[in-house]
Structure 1
Amino acid sequence: MQLRLSTLASAISLAFSVSQANAQTSGQAEPAKELPAVNVTAERSGSFKSNVVQVGTFRDMAPLDVPQTSNVITREVLDAQATDSLFGALQNTAGVTRSAISGSTYDNIAIRGILVENRGNYRLNGSLPIINLISTPLENKERVEVLKGASSLYYGFVPPSGIINLVTKRAGNNPVTNLNLMGNQYGGGNVHLDVGRRFGSQQQFGARVNLLKGREDIGINNYSGDRMLASGAFDWRVNDKLSFKLDVEHYRKDVSEQPPILVPKAVNGVITLPSVPDNRQNLSGEWQRYDAKATNILFRTDYALNDNWGVFFEAGKARTGRDRAFSRFENFDLKTGQGTLRVTAFTRDQEWNNENYRAEVYGRLPGAWVTHELSLGFTANERSQDGRNFPGVSIPQNLYNPVAIPPQSPVGASSPAFPGKIQDRGWYFFDRMLIGKWQAMFGARGSNYKSTTPDSYYTADKVTPTVALMYKPNSRISFYGSYLQGLEESGTPGPDRANFGQVLPPAMSKQKEIGVKAEVAQGVLLQAAYFDIERASTAIDSATNNLTLNGLAQYRGVELVASGEVTKRLSLIASAVFQDAKQLNAANAGTFGKTPDNTPEQTASLFSEYRLQSVPGLALSGGLYYVGKRPVNNENQAFVDGYTTVSLGARHTTVIAGNRTTFQAVLDNATNRNYWGTAGSNLLGVGAPRMLKVTARMQF
């Protein structure tokens, strides 16, 4: 698949810049001005391009001024695709693949072949690390932002896959009352109410409430369940200096869990994979429930000290709990399909807690030749987990002709479900210097990390730097480049490893990137970047079946992105990644020079919508999503084939009884292709079957 981005040039590189809320969009040094009021505005109707980025320190910055590859999936894109899942949103960003599990319970995601860590890389409103172990609802989100690459300066110990930021809807100047109905051909559906208002003599109070209740059915056999969401986003503008925000969301999902398939053992160094099973097949029983619930709370207060300086403080807590009967299909005969469905454990009362605090002082020091934009902050994050495991069971099953699995219950004594605690504290400093058409950036983070489990204890204290340079010849193009270092948690072994649940020691990552961004046409943002990431890799010790550190892995590649309005009637969002990733531990001949597992060389996506002039209110859309072949393990003993899926859609907006009403139909995986949608961690999963979704939205 080829993606054409006609006006992109090559360029200088990426940097992780900390910028203030009053960052310039032109890059020119300017005289002192007042700090902007703290508020959130919704995307303009019909926009596939965001005018601002809010992830990390890039608060309300124009994308051209963000010296890092970023993808923003706006509310308009989410609505045009009728998507309610993270993977559904993130498939619009190249380099994204599923890892280990198929996504029937939650989306386990890798970017550029690097796992997006489920407890550190997902953020609510640029701050709170939420726990991505339950499907994260998008109905109460205004947009999803992806900041590719290393992000340790602001977020501490996180892998260099990228930060996924979920921005909540807030009350705007206009009242909002939306009622949304959705259903699919399998009997799944939900009802969603979205209400937003401002109150007070000066409209100083704001509230946005989202409520959802639905039945889950995704087209696979022996699958059923339900989900719910209740959320509120509140704000109080006390005066022109002081403001408060509070976000609260609670959601739950109780569904059957589809099992992955364990990769067969190698024979003479080669693995023979089975044919892809029917995409509606389910090897587990409907009684194998994944019952999870999450609550996220985030509070923030901002205060402007004067025209040029401000402070803010944030405090938040994320809590997720689940009961689970996880299973996988293993030890099967390729000819007959006869094997074993093994419930690895019945997990009960498993719970994760993240507490996060941040304080920051930021401001401007204007000068005749150089203007400094400064940030100095401190973060404290503590994560804990606990729970109980009951012994699992093994049940005969057949890959080609599945049989009904009778209900099973936990038996025997329970054991701790790998309790542990992580403390990640750090200070950070950043100076963004505006010198005419140039921007020079320097930052540093001092980290203190402690990880404690019953079987291990790790600590790390280190200062990591960030340096960057950006050149803006005019207001519609920018070139950038950077080098940065970061620290990351190097991994946690899965249930098929002898050291399951034990956090591996922290490791260093290094990143270099050069890039260019430009705005063309009616408002299309084009991005091109070359990235070079070095990080610790892992391998399986054949003697002990432990997951261990395995030296260095290097990820090099080019990423291309386009998003926005080509004409007044045609919008698109497109991206592509071409990369070469290698493991470089010469002491391990089995993996040296091989591609890390679940890492494709090419991925690409294209989604566009055309609004017909001949039929007012009617829009037609289509999408193509391509993922190249991927190795099933670090030894590259087998590869799953690449695949392309197609989506088609139409929506019509009209007025009924004085109310704006939209009817929509979207067909995902329109060709009903069978494909391996998931790889990684020695597991395989089948992609979702064709699904027709129909929606109706009424705006009162």
Structure 2
Amino acid sequence: MQLSRLSAALFRLNSLNVSGASLRLASIPSRLVSTKSLPLKSLCSVIILTTSHSAWALVDDVDAQTTPNVVLDTIVVTSSADASADGLPSAYEGGQVATGSRVGLLGNQDIMDTPFSTTSYTNEYITNQQAHSVGDLLKKDSTVRVARGFGNFQEAYFMRGFVTTSDDTMFNGLYGILPRQYIATELFERIEVQRGASAMLNGAAPSGGNAGGTINLLPKRADNEPLRQLALGYGQGDQSKVAVDVSDRFGSDDAIGVRFNAAYQDGDSAIDDESSTLGLAALGLDYRGDQYRLSADLGWQDNKLSETRPSVTLAGVSHVPKAPDGSKNWAQPWSYSNEEDVFGTIRGEYDFNDSITGYGAYGIRHGDEDNSLANLTVSDADGTGSTYRFDNVREDKVQSAELGLRGQWQTGKIDHNWVLAADLYDQEEKGAYAFDFGNQLATNLYRPTDYDNAWSDTAFFGGNFDNPKRTSETQLQSFALADTFSLFDDKLKTTVGVRHQNIKTTSYDYNTQAKTADYDESALTPSVGIVYQPTMDWSVYGNYIESLAKGAAAPLVDNSGNAITNAGQNLDPYVSKQTELGVKYDNGVIGSSFAIFHTDEPRAYIDDNNTFTATGENRHQGAELTVFGSPSENMRLNAGVTYLSAKQKDTGDSALDGNSVIGLPTLQSNVNLEYDLAAVEGLTLTGDIIHTGARYADAANTLKVDGYTTLDLGARYRTMLAGQDVTLKGMVTNVTGEDYWQSVGGLPGYGYLNAGEPTALKVSATFDF
């Protein structure tokens, strides 16, 4: 499209006199304009008025008409978390999701231009949902289900049936920089979900997950307009919260940006005897010049949990115990979990010329954890069970970096966008632990018994709690090359790439510091993706891509105590292979994505020769449908449904072959709806319906956990108080009071249960000064 055509279209639309028609304000998707005639970074703020016809059709309609010359207003480019010249992709109609997101080393891409399934949730949506953690927000995504780590309170996410832990969440494209267990949403501008395997795009995840998807969180930046915001919140159980968010720009052309936000939360929750304290602060700086851009972040989060309700492990039961009342707690009164992290990053981008840009980033985190835990094991469906004390401390020091070049070139009529990247991840972990497994304390799920926290004579210890020693080191190094070449005026785009990844880990004895295991293996992970856009509203895509994880180590003995022939040997890296086909629709008002996928994940077992071998697989197949946007001027929709078939294959045990993988429902769906009430200006009603089907808590599929459906209702009201903008929000979770098991598992091969949330009220007030 030529700039003159766009100008003509804007003039004509501005002059339209449509009787009885409702005019809508919508953004022009970036793909409507050829970058050959108008740079994308000069189009960020262009808006048009459109009737029910698409913007593309209206522009074509004015092509042959004579129109006066129109001078467009100067367009101000917004700052970007990744220090790019184009800034963040704009928000989609309705403001809940963005029109694009970061796709690993390929950078920011429009939804319709990428051969992968992605969603980027905006800060507006995060705050309107009153989401306190990343998990609070992602439970509203129909392709994600939130679980819990093994033995602790870490958030974990089922994506396409695979577990992605918060360890493997990315911060502005870097692994390992964020707090390891709980991540508060006040720190972020956007939460990006990239579904499916991603080794070529992002490199191997530190903990070996991400076969089903990757979560990338973007820090806040100073916008073009100053921000002065104060938020007060209150939750059922006497949980109070205060948060501030301020920003401004300085210097010539407002080139320097500063954004600071902080929050403090303290009090009891809606669950009996459970309480938490959260403190956080983040400073984001950026500089945007004509030839180079810089940004930096410094963050701190201190999360303290007291008497948090633990998970439930099943042992020897014939059927799954009934889910307890959502407000009940079986935690021991002395149990707690504390986590404090300090982290920072710096990122830069430099344009060598109009065709080549260099970029680099470096991040570091120091984390401290201190826990005293007592998880519950239930041995009878009447709730009878036992618990024992387990304490541990952990220190993490993580460094993460990336360096790359990206550019454009042309061969004949083929346009190329290429990127060359190198990534480095280094982690040192220190720790100590204490088990009192021999001192089993009798209790009950429904009628818990409290005990003191004294250690028994049977307790055993590893390491020094006052001075924990090194327990493991992880180093990930990779080099990647990718090229996206375009044909037929960008209607057909093909992305090919490959990454060479080295995985090196070393484990040490907690006391002697002697090496107990060493792993050093490499692998190549290729990828190809194709997108075809027959019209501006539709695109069809497909991809083949892999994920990569460290291979398992052979155990010393089998379940019968017989020696393993290759005891201690490390298997080659596990490569999960994914194929995906999909179709996307976007008319500027409503967007939708449908994908079908197939992923084979390797597994290992002890064969007939008592050798531990990488044989067999878990096969995950499914379909995902998401819908988002604004169906009418006063309504916003974010909904979807996922069908999943995840089966165990070639397990070495015929009784398990063909069974469902632990913790995964066949069907899950979400509907989030917002409606602006015309009778009361500024009032918006909100509702969420979340459905999760039945799951199994064991590999034999004898322990079936019922599915559940929950309803959340809320409202927000925008008004003026003393001349200041104020937004009041309220939400009631689990309105119907359903008692349910929210998640099953969260660590592959384990089927522990996590109880669902009770009915609870949370309210907040946000003041803009």
TM-score normalised by L of structure 1: 0.89
**Identical residues among aligned pairs (%):** 25
- Following the alignment from structure 1 to structure 2, what is the Cα–Cα distance between the partners of residues 503 and 558? 34
Report the CA distance shift for 1:53/1:155 in structure 2 as closer, same or farther (over 3 A): same
Does structure 1 residue 137 correspond to structure 2 residue 189? no
Say which of 338, 357, 362 aligns to 1:291. 338
Does structure 1 residue 453 correspond to structure 2 residue 498? no
* Structure 1 partner of 2:292: 242
Does structure 1 residue 426 correspond to structure 2 residue 488? no
Is residue 89–residue 101 contact of structure 2 (8 Å, CA) maintained in 1? Answer: no
What amino acid sits opposite 1:474 in the alignment? T
Say which of 376, 384, 390 aligns to 1:329. 376
1:82 is displaced (CA, Å) by: 1.1
- The higher relative CO (CA closer than 8 Å, separation ≥ 6) is in 1
The answer for unaligned runs of 5 or more in structure 2 is 1-28, 42-83, 509-515
Higher helix share: 2
1:28 is displaced (CA, Å) by: 6.5
1:90 is displaced (CA, Å) by: 0.6
1:293 is displaced (CA, Å) by: 1.0
Deviation by residue 1:126-148 (Cα, 9 ceiling, x = unmatched): 22433553310101311211100
Is residue 167–residue 181 contact of structure 2 (8 Å, CA) maintained in 1? Answer: no
Deviation by residue 1:480-519 (Cα, 9 ceiling, x = unmatched): 11212331236799xxx999x9998630111100011111
Say which of 78, 100, 108 aligns to 1:52. 100
Say which of 67, 86, 94 aligns to 2:142. 94
* Structure 1 partner of 2:574: 507
1:367 is displaced (CA, Å) by: 4.4
Say which of 225, 237, 241 aligns to 1:174. 225
* Structure 2 partner of 1:389: 433
Is residue 652–residue 664 contact of structure 1 (8 Å, CA) maintained in 2? Answer: yes
Say which of 678, 681, 695 aligns to 1:630. 695
Is residue 234–residue 762 contact of structure 2 (8 Å, CA) maintained in 1? Answer: yes
Query: Rg larger in 1 or in 2?
Result: 2
1:338 is displaced (CA, Å) by: 3.2
Say which of 374, 380, 399 aligns to 1:355. 399
- 3-state secondary structure, aligned to 2:530: strand
1:284 is displaced (CA, Å) by: 1.6
What amino acid sits opposite 2:763 in the alignment? V
Say which of 343, 362, 378 aligns to 2:422. 378
- Which stretch of the first structure deviates more once superposed, 471-480 or 385-394? 385-394
The answer for unaligned runs of 5 or more in structure 1 is 1-22
- Following the alignment from structure 2 to structure 1, what is the Cα–Cα distance between the partners of residues 644 and 92? 34
Is residue 29–residue 434 contact of structure 1 (8 Å, CA) maintained in 2? Answer: no
- Following the alignment from structure 1 to structure 2, what is the Cα–Cα distance between the partners of residues 556 and 135? 30
What amino acid sits opposite 2:602 in the alignment? A
Pairwise CA RMSD: 3.1
Deviation by residue 1:199-243 (Cα, 9 ceiling, x = unmatched): 113211111111111114321122122111110111122x30112
Does structure 1 residue 149 correspond to structure 2 residue 196? yes
- Following the alignment from structure 1 to structure 2, what is the Cα–Cα distance between the partners of residues 525 and 629? 29
* Structure 2 partner of 1:65: 113
Report the CA distance shift for 1:24/1:100 in structure 2 as closer, same or farther (over 3 A): closer
- Following the alignment from structure 2 to structure 1, what is the Cα–Cα distance between the partners of residues 117 and 690? 20
- Following the alignment from structure 1 to structure 2, what is the Cα–Cα distance between the partners of residues 435 and 93? 34
Report the CA distance shift for 1:665/1:286 in structure 2 as closer, same or farther (over 3 A): same
1:666 is displaced (CA, Å) by: 0.5
- Following the alignment from structure 1 to structure 2, what is the Cα–Cα distance between the partners of residues 396 and 70? 47
Does structure 1 residue 462 correspond to structure 2 residue 523? yes
Say which of 366, 378, 400 aligns to 2:446. 400
1:42 is displaced (CA, Å) by: 7.2
- Following the alignment from structure 1 to structure 2, what is the Cα–Cα distance between the partners of residues 321 and 409? 23
Report the CA distance shift for 1:405/1:504 in structure 2 as closer, same or farther (over 3 A): farther
What amino acid sits opposite 1:265 in the alignment? G
Does structure 1 residue 438 correspond to structure 2 residue 438? no
Is residue 69–residue 527 contact of structure 1 (8 Å, CA) maintained in 2? Answer: yes
Deviation by residue 1:418-466 (Cα, 9 ceiling, x = unmatched): 8211111110001100111211221111111112213322222222211
* Structure 2 partner of 1:19: none
Report the CA distance shift for 1:45/1:136 in structure 2 as closer, same or farther (over 3 A): farther
1:547 is displaced (CA, Å) by: 11
- Which stretch of the first structure deviates more once superposed, 524-533 or 217-226? 217-226
* Structure 1 partner of 2:80: none
Does structure 1 residue 690 correspond to structure 2 residue 742? no
What amino acid sits opposite 1:403 in the alignment? T
- Following the alignment from structure 2 to structure 1, what is the Cα–Cα distance between the partners of residues 31 and 606? 48
* Structure 1 partner of 2:237: 186
The count of aligned residue pairs is 664
Report the CA distance shift for 1:311/1:199 in structure 2 as closer, same or farther (over 3 A): same
Q: What are the within-5 Å matches in structure 2 for residues 226-625 of structure 1?
A: 226-237=277-288, 239-256=289-306, 257-265=308-316, 271-330=318-377, 332-335=379-382, 337-343=383-389, 345-348=390-393, 350-392=394-436, 393-408=439-454, 414-416=461-463, 419-436=471-488, 437-454=491-508, 455-489=516-550, 506-520=573-587, 523-537=589-603, 551-585=616-650, 587-625=652-690
Is residue 101–residue 683 contact of structure 1 (8 Å, CA) maintained in 2? Answer: no
Report the CA distance shift for 1:540/1:579 in structure 2 as closer, same or farther (over 3 A): farther
Is residue 29–residue 435 contact of structure 1 (8 Å, CA) maintained in 2? Answer: no
- Following the alignment from structure 1 to structure 2, what is the Cα–Cα distance between the partners of residues 548 and 409? 40
Is residue 166–residue 181 contact of structure 2 (8 Å, CA) maintained in 1? Answer: no
- Which stretch of the first structure deviates more once superposed, 96-105 or 241-250? 96-105
